[in-house]
Structure 1
Amino acid sequence: METHFFADTLINWYQRHKRALPWRDTRNPYYIWLSEVILQQTRVAQGLPYYQKFVAAYPVIQDMAAAPEDEILRLWQGLGYYSRARNMHHTAQQIVEQYGGTFPDNYQELLKLKGVGSYTAAAIASFAFKEKVAVLDGNVFRVLARTHGLSDDIAAPASRKIFQELADSLIPADEPDTFNQAIMEFGAIQCTPVMPDCLFCPLQQSCFAFTHGLVQELPVKSKAKAARPRFFHYFVLAYNGTYYMRKRAAGDIWQGLYDFYLYESNSKNLDADQALQELKEAGLEIDETQVILPLKDYKHVLSHQKITARFYTIKLKSRLKEQIAQEARVAPYTAEELEALPKPVLISSYLKDAKILVNL
Structure 2
Amino acid sequence: MRDPATLSADLLSWYDRHARAMPWRVPPAARQAGTRPDPYRVWLSEVMLQQTTVAAVRDYFHRFTARWPEVTDLAAAADADVMAEWAGLGYYARARNLLKCARAVVAEHDGRFPADHAALLALPGVGPYTAAAVAAIAFDLPETVVDGNVERVITRLHDVHTPLPQAKLEITALARTLTPQARPGDYAQAIMDLGATICTPRNPACGLCPWRDDCAGRLAGSATDLPKKTPKKPKPIRHGIAYIARRVDGAYLLERRPDSGLLGGMLGWPGSDWNEAPGEDPPIRAEWKALNTEARHTFTHFHLRLTVKTALVPMDRAPARGEFHEEFRPGDLPTVMRKAFDLAQK
TM-score, normalized by length of structure 2? 0.90
Partner of 1:285: 285
AA aligned to 2:201 is P
CA contact (8 A) 1:74 1:340 kept: no
Confirm or deny that 1:252 pairs with 2:258. Answer: no
CA contact (8 A) 2:295 2:343 kept: no
Candidates 302, 306, 310, aligned match of 1:309: 306
CA contact (8 A) 2:159 2:223 kept: no
Bigger drift between 218-227 and 135-144 goes to: 218-227
Confirm or deny that 1:111 pairs with 2:103. Answer: no
Tell me which structure has the larger Cα radius of gyration: 1
- 1:117-132 to structure 2, matched below 5 A, reads 117-132=127-142
AA aligned to 2:8 is A
- 1:149-298 to structure 2, matched below 5 A, reads 149-156=159-166, 159-241=167-249, 242-264=251-273, 279=282, 284-286=284-286, 288=287, 291-298=288-295
Bigger drift between 225-234 and 58-67 goes to: 225-234
Mark the runs of 5 or more structure 2 residues left unpaired by the alignment. 27-35
Give, in whole Å, the separation in 1 of the partners of 2:274 and 2:190: 49
Greater per-residue helix proportion: 1
Give, in whole Å, the separation in 1 of the partners of 2:97 and 2:253: 28
Q: Percent identity?
A: 32
**Structure 1 residue ranges, 4+ long, deviating more than 6 angstroms after superposition:** none
- After TM superposition, give the deviation of residue 317 of structure 1 in Å: 4.4
CA contact (8 A) 1:300 1:306 kept: yes
Taking a change above 3 Å as real, the CA distance of residues 45 and 83 of structure 1, as seen in their structure-2 partners, is: same
Taking a change above 3 Å as real, the CA distance of residues 230 and 59 of structure 1, as seen in their structure-2 partners, is: same
- After TM superposition, give the deviation of residue 153 of structure 1 in Å: 2.4
Give, in whole Å, the separation in 2 of the partners of 1:238 and 1:200: 57
TM-score, normalized by length of structure 1? 0.87
Partner of 2:157: 147
Paired positions, count? 335
Partner of 1:7: 8
| Structure 1 vs Structure 2 CA RMSD | 2.2
Give, in whole Å, the separation in 2 of the partners of 1:151 and 1:124: 30
CA contact (8 A) 2:289 2:309 kept: yes
Give, in whole Å, the separation in 2 of the partners of 1:41 and 1:212: 30
Taking a change above 3 Å as real, the CA distance of residues 220 and 329 of structure 1, as seen in their structure-2 partners, is: same
- After TM superposition, give the deviation of residue 103 of structure 1 in Å: 0.7
Give, in whole Å, the separation in 2 of the partners of 1:89 and 1:319: 38
- After TM superposition, give the deviation of residue 37 of structure 1 in Å: 0.7
CA contact (8 A) 1:225 1:304 kept: no
AA aligned to 1:236 is I
Taking a change above 3 Å as real, the CA distance of residues 3 and 342 of structure 1, as seen in their structure-2 partners, is: same
AA aligned to 2:12 is I
| Residues 278-309 of structure 1: CA deviation (Å, up to 9, x unaligned) | 54xx7x433x4xx4430422111111111111
Candidates 20, 23, 32, aligned match of 2:42: 32
- After TM superposition, give the deviation of residue 263 of structure 1 in Å: 2.4
Give, in whole Å, the separation in 2 of the partners of 1:194 and 1:200: 15
AA aligned to 1:167 is A
SS at 1:297 equivalent: strand
